[in-house]
Amino acid sequence: CHCYALSGKASDMDSQLKIGFIGAGNMAFGIAKGILAGNVLPVNVRVSAPSSRNLGRFQELGIAVTHSNVEVVSGSDVVFVAVKPHLVSPVLNEISLHVTDRHIIVSVAAGVTLTTLEELLPENSVVIRLMPNLPCMVQEGALLFSRGTHAKQEDGALLHSLLHRCGLVEEGPEAWIDIHTGLSGSGVAFVYLFAEALADGAVKMGMPSALAHSIASQTVLGAGRLLRESEKHPAQLRSEVCTPGGTTIYGLHTLEQGGVRAATMSAVESATVRARELGQKSAAASRK
**Known binding positions for NADPH:** 69
Element (H, E) at 171: strand 167-171
> Residue 288: what residue type?
K
The SS3 of residue 288 is coil
Cα–Cα distance measured from residue 126 to residue 19, given in angstroms and rounded to the nearest whole number: 15
Residue list for the binding site: 22-27, 69, 82-85
Closest CA to 174 of 214, 125, 117, 134: 117
DSSP single-letter state for residue 137: G
C-alpha 130, offset from chain centre: 7
Interatomic CA distance for residues 83 and 89, integer angstroms: 10
Which residues are annotated as part of the binding site for NADP(+)? 22-27, 82-85
Residue 143 in contact with residue 130, Cβ under 8 Å?
yes
Burial class (CB in 10 A: 0-12, 13-18, 19+), 69: buried
Asked whether 96 and 70 are in contact (CB, 8 A), the reply is no
CB 182 within 8 A of CB 268: yes
Cα→Cα distances 174→115, 129, 228, Å: 10, 8, 25
Q: How far apart are CA 202 and CA 193, in angstroms?
A: 14
CB-based contact 114:146 (threshold 8 Å):
yes
The Cα–Cα gap between 268 and 215 comes to 26
